Amino acid sequence: MFRIAVIIILLAYPVLPLNLDSQPPDPERVDFKIAVKALKSGHSLFFFTFAPLTDRAFGGNVDNFKYYDEPKNGLPYFEFSKTRLILNESDIQMQLLEEKVDINGNVSVRLTTMTPAEFKVIRREEWTCNLRAKYCTDLRITVGENPVLLKADTVPIRKNLTAGIRVRFTVNFSLCHTGLRLNVVSGGYLSDFKEYDAEYDELTQFSTTRMVTNGGSGIGYDVDTVKMYTNGTLAVNTAKMTSNFKPLNSEDYICDMNGGDKAAVSFFAINSPNW
């Protein structure tokens, strides 16, 4: 007797309204300034992006981001990316969606479809639009999250992490003591972390990773790694890497945590108990 194994892959696509023209303006949509303020204060954003001249749309949470306000880079902007696996006829493919939103609401979108193992590019699509347009990218603050700024102390941060509470962080590189004084803010969820024994000065290490396209270097990663020490000092490394995690460039920073407007690194507990 033969046994047949059937693998079913469920793909979730956003469902478009039947009549978008009849939809009233959504008061929960946010503009660039509100979006940046929300990201810097520990909130995550939900995005919903329409692909032009097609019936496709993409949605999800802006988990990790980078905000740039450097004159050499042009207008202030923030960027984020998302990946997903899709079933295309008989094979599995990976899609990388990258978005850049500037202060004027201009949105640049790049959608790269590739093989999931070798990251070989199958096709690349790019388009632009504006947040004020009817069919572009909708941004809104994620519902149900209540980020609370944690005290400038390693104890509440570690307590929340080890209790399974989601923690978000932001790094303002212009406020760090060493490294390039760039007006760049990075942030995201502390999805992975490592605890050390009390005999070490280093208490916790964590990192966030975003898949990106690194120009002529192909698919790669934007990685931020943070080491937190017992005296409250943080060593931050930000790096661009290839698909096999070989550094293309890397910069090290020494920063302080929390403490108001002059804090280089801030931690936010999401829906944390009132400890």
Block means of pLDDT (10 residues each) for the chain, 275 residues, are 35 34 56 94 92 86 92 89 88 94 96 91 93 91 87 78 87 83 88 68 78 81 87 86 88 77 82 69
Domain count along the chain:
2
Q: Which element (helix H / strand E) includes 52?
A: none
SS3 21: helix
Q: Let me know if residue 65 belongs to a domain.
A: yes
In terms of domains, do 179 and 135 share one?
no
Q: Let me know if residue 18 belongs to a domain.
A: no
Distance CA 145, CA 270 (A): 6
- Given 108, 141, 174, the domain boundary residue is 141
Q: Are 226 and 236 a contacting pair, CB within 8 Å?
A: yes
In terms of domains, do 45 and 129 share one?
yes
SS3 string, 178-204, reads CCCCCCEEEEEECCEEEECCCCCCEEE
Q: Give the pLDDT score at 111.
A: 95
In terms of domains, do 114 and 153 share one?
no
pTM for the model: 0.83
- Given 100, 125, 141, the domain boundary residue is 141
